[in-house]
Amino acid sequence: MMLLDGAEFSFSPTAIDPSGARHGLLQTPHGTIATPAFLFCGTRGAIKGLTAEQVRQCGTQVILANTYHLSLQPGAETVAQLGGLHRMMDWSGPMLTDSGGFQIFSLGHGGVAREIKGCRGRPTARTLIKITEDGAWFRSYRGGGIHLLSPESSIQIQRLLGADLVLPLDECTPFHADRTYTADATRRSHRWELRSLEEFRRSTGKQAIYGIVQGGIYEDLRRESCAFVGEHAFFGQAIGGSLGGNREQMREIVAMVCGQKHPTKPTHLLGIGGLGDIMHGIGCGVDTFDCVHPTRLARHGGAIVPPSLSDGTGHWNLKNARFAKDPNPIDASCPCHACRTASRGYIHHLFRAGETLGGQLLAIHNITFINRFFAAAREAILAGRWREFCRINGENI
Amino acid sequence: MMLLDGAEFSFSPTAIDPSGARHGLLQTPHGTIATPAFLFCGTRGAIKGLTAEQVRQCGTQVILANTYHLSLQPGAETVAQLGGLHRMMDWSGPMLTDSGGFQIFSLGHGGVAREIKGCRGRPTARTLIKITEDGAWFRSYRGGGIHLLSPESSIQIQRLLGADLVLPLDECTPFHADRTYTADATRRSHRWELRSLEEFRRSTGKQAIYGIVQGGIYEDLRRESCAFVGEHAFFGQAIGGSLGGNREQMREIVAMVCGQKHPTKPTHLLGIGGLGDIMHGIGCGVDTFDCVHPTRLARHGGAIVPPSLSDGTGHWNLKNARFAKDPNPIDASCPCHACRTASRGYIHHLFRAGETLGGQLLAIHNITFINRFFAAAREAILAGRWREFCRINGENI
């Protein structure tokens, strides 16, 4: 039994490539998402620098917003008073919110996001106070007060925000957590996820809830967690937790989890956004992805380009002096507003002059690029040409 | 004789209200401007935070860009290589560039812009080295090199930029300049304007040049300067220089100059953007205005509202806590994208959260407001209801 309010949610993989890549239709009250699909991050209730209309015009199907940031500013009650997230943001399509836990643990452990993705770097300010059976105690970066994010409060907040797809509170363990700690945390996450389901049942709203597969880098824990999410009434399943210390390990873990996941629940891979990793994930049967990469890269001058054009990074840095007098668009074959109207030289100038329009034009390009990439991936799966698609895009599977 | 390349420029006041307010059509190679009209500032080659398409969708007829900033970054030759300002910015409508002198004198005198408008404030960094008969010697804020902006080089730069309407180099005297200095500067400006005309004649391009009326606060000098601009082959006339130490004096000087200006040349009032001052200027026979006010105000959280709604400032500060939970649009009767899609509470949140989208939405609203205000002014003039229009908008003339 799927736990649904109003039965306006469904998911049906309609085409499965022999490799495991699949195309499906994920129905929500705000429209149907053709999968595989990418969710763009509207962290604080805005896709940075773009109106929702511009995001739509880039071919975007679905976006996400972050419960942690929104619950501190403007607050979930205020979002509800402003008509809920969809109305507040003028986004009429499908939307997902996370539980808020990831930011608390990420800030708390000093950059778990980087660790999960196997990156190193300077730790950020710690805001996590402690983890108890109740939930996560943290210090707000606005005002400094101490708050508890519990499974119940996360669901209550997400009910007020009103996104179509919601996530239960889980503990995001850092890479350096050992097996004993990871096993404890995974089982605590399961108890939290059950409490989230209970709270979800007690409340109402046209929403569907995903379960989150934890277990870190440990195969038996991942198997246990897949079984847990598969057997309970979660509409979908998200792959969370530590994915290892480097890209190879991340891919191994994604493949291993996908081999044990529920076969028909829609599957979301949290926080992965490189094209190669996306192709690998799709090949494993992942349906949806999210990452700040396309929009963050844009703010720093990066234009995503086809693998054949880039030097391995997957993008051009338009702040580079070699683009200063270049009258060509980023990609003459790209139909996005930036490529139809702006030269590389103009975008270079906008960054040099400190004009935010440069980052906005690049965000339009990058979002359009990713949406077209996913559209082409869906077409390839439907046509039984998935392996060829990966090869053309520099990914040998 | 008008000095025109290709005779694609014309101006005909088609309706004159008994008060002196007039409606006209200013024809350029990039389209016809219905006057009175407002020029929005794309200082560094962008209307801050908006695509040219968004600026068009706000009903904008004409924009300006600043020669000083563009000649330092990306440089006039680079703009020409990128297809000229129109193509570089994706702006297909009429455009004006200034001579570049205003910024040099403004930075040089430590804020002449504020002084011209009768404001006080902390002086900014001085970059003007000296003024000679040749032109203005200044230190670049990029790189620190010493440059000469001469009447000839200003025209050469503006030829490369390629705007429809260009301005000759003049000296912008600060408010505290005495009569002797102002008389000398005015006559030097006249000599510079004649050299500008000569350089304009020697070069080619589909452009028209305005003369600038100087003379500070001195009636006889203003009369002399009006006669100078009127009798030479300038297509239009701009009112420049010091407009006194306060709003009353500014209005007196504008009225005085307008009483002596050439009767049929299009008349531009430089840098004035308050609604009351605009109505006063239109009543004196001014055809076009420019000011950073609508877009700068937007970046700081200000939404322009009808005089009847504001507390005398002409705008609301949406960063104010009273808007935090307000689900209404800025103005339900405004057709702009911001008022159709965003609540006051959402815009408040965007500013609190540090999202630039808040400023962009306000820029869309403010530009639309000003364009609608000017459209209504033109309609009122055509209908012989100009005085009534001013009364409704809180301006008794």
Tens-place pLDDT, residues A1-47: 344 444 699 999 988 888 899 999 999 999 999 999 999 999 999 99
- Give the whole-angstrom CA distance, residue B356 versus residue B364: 13
Give the pLDDT confidence of B20-64 residue by residue, as tens digits. 999 999 999 999 999 999 999 999 999 999 999 999 999 999 999
Give the pLDDT confidence of B315-350 residue by residue, as tens digits. 999 999 999 999 999 999 999 999 999 999 999 999
Selected from 2.40.160.10, 3.10.580.10, 3.20.20.105, 3.40.50.2000, the CATH number assigned to the domain covering B37-90+261-280+287-397 reads 3.20.20.105
Is domain B98-258 in CATH 3.20.20.105, yes or no? yes
B114: pLDDT strictly greater than 70: no
Pairing of strands B37-41, B288-290: parallel
Which of A96-100, A360-364, B6-10, B280-284 is predicted with the least confidence, judged by mean pLDDT?
Answer: B6-10
Give the pLDDT confidence of A260-302 residue by residue, as tens digits. 999 999 999 999 999 999 999 999 999 999 999 999 999 999 9
Cα B11–B14–B20 angle (5° rounding)?
100
User: Does B355 sit within 8 Å of A45, measured CB to CB?
Assistant: yes
Radius of gyration of chain B (CA): 20
Instruction: Give contacts of B336 with chain A, Cβ < 8 Å.
Output: none
Percentage of chain A lying above the pLDDT 90 cut = 81
Percentage of chain B lying above the pLDDT 90 cut = 81
Q: What is the pLDDT of residue A1?
A: 39
Please, what is the average pLDDT of chain B?
92
Please state the CATH superfamily assignment of the domain spanning residues A23-291 in this structure.
Answer: Queuine tRNA-ribosyltransferase-like (3.20.20.105)
Q: What is the pLDDT of residue B313?
A: 86
Asked if A98 is an active-site residue, the reply is yes
Say if residue B69 is exposed, middle or buried (CB neighbours under 10 Å; 0-12, 13-18, 19+). middle
Q: What is the pLDDT of residue B312?
A: 81
Cα A240–A241–A246 angle (5° rounding)?
110
- The residues, ordered by sequence, that sit 6+ positions from B58 with a Cβ below 8 Å of its Cβ are B336, B364, B367, B368, B371
pTM for this entry: 0.94
Q: What is the pLDDT of residue B7?
A: 64
Which whole number is the average pLDDT over A83-93? 98
Q: What is the pLDDT of residue B128?
A: 83
Instruction: Give contacts of B354 with chain A, Cβ < 8 Å.
Output: 44
Give strand ranges (E) for chain B. 10-16, 22-28, 31-35, 37-41, 62-65, 95-97, 128-131, 136-139, 146-149, 165-166, 208-213, 236-239, 267-269, 288-290, 302-304, 315-317
- Give the whole-angstrom CA distance, residue B166 versus residue B10: 15
Domain boundaries, chain B: 37-90+261-280+287-397, 98-258
Instruction: Give contacts of B346 with chain A, Cβ < 8 Å.
Output: 45, 82, 88-89
- Give the whole-angstrom CA distance, residue A216 versus residue A177: 8
Which whole number is the average pLDDT over A345-374? 98
Structure tokens at A373: 């990439």
User: Does A69 sit within 8 Å of B357, measured CB to CB?
Assistant: no
Catalytic pick among B170, B287, B290, B331: B290
Give the pLDDT confidence of B181-226 residue by residue, as tens digits. 999 999 999 999 999 999 999 999 999 999 999 999 999 999 999 9
Considering only the beta carbons, identify the residue of B46, B88, B346 that sits closest to A88. B346
Q: Cα dist. B93→A94, A218, B26 in Å? A: 38, 62, 12
CA A192 to chain B, closest CA, distance in angstroms equals 30
Q: Which residues of A134-169 are buried (b: 16+ CB within 10 A; e: fewer)?
A: ebbbbbeeeeeeebebbbbbbbbbbbbbbbbbbbbb
Q: What is the pLDDT of residue A125?
A: 56
Determine if the peptide bond prior to A74 is cis (ω within 30°): yes
Question: Is residue B49 within 8 Å of residue B363, measured between CB atoms?
Answer: yes
Which whole number is the average pLDDT over A350-358? 97
Give the amino acid at A199: E
Q: What is the pLDDT of residue B240?
A: 95
Confidence of residue B18 (pLDDT cuts 50, 70, 90): confident
CA B139 to chain centre: 25
Please, what is the average pLDDT of chain A?
92
Say if residue B279 is exposed, middle or buried (CB neighbours under 10 Å; 0-12, 13-18, 19+). buried
Question: Is residue B329 within 8 Å of residue B319, measured between CB atoms?
Answer: no
CA A143 to chain B, closest CA, distance in angstroms equals 13
- Give the whole-angstrom CA distance, residue B350 versus residue B318: 10
- Give the whole-angstrom CA distance, residue A131 versus residue B105: 61
User: Does B346 sit within 8 Å of A45, measured CB to CB?
Assistant: yes
Q: Which letter does DSSP use for residue A4 in this model?
A: B
Confidence of residue B119 (pLDDT cuts 50, 70, 90): very low
Asked if A287 is an active-site residue, the reply is no
B396: pLDDT strictly greater than 90: no
> Which H or E run includes A212?
strand A208-213
Percentage of chain B lying above the pLDDT 70 cut = 93
Give strand ranges (E) for A327-388. none
A132: pLDDT strictly greater than 80: yes
Q: Cα dist. B278→A328, A381, B251, B260 in Å? A: 41, 61, 10, 19
Q: Which letter does DSSP use for residue A129 in this model?
A: E
Confidence of residue A109 (pLDDT cuts 50, 70, 90): low
- Give the whole-angstrom CA distance, residue B347 versus residue A237: 34
Using a CB–CB cut-off of 8 Å, the residues of A that contact B are 44-46, 48-53, 69, 73-74, 78, 81-83, 88-90, 324-325, 327, 337, 341-343, 345-346, 348-350, 352-357, 360-361
Pairing of strands B10-16, B22-28: antiparallel
Per-state percent for chain A, helix, strand, coil, to nearest 5: 40, 15, 40
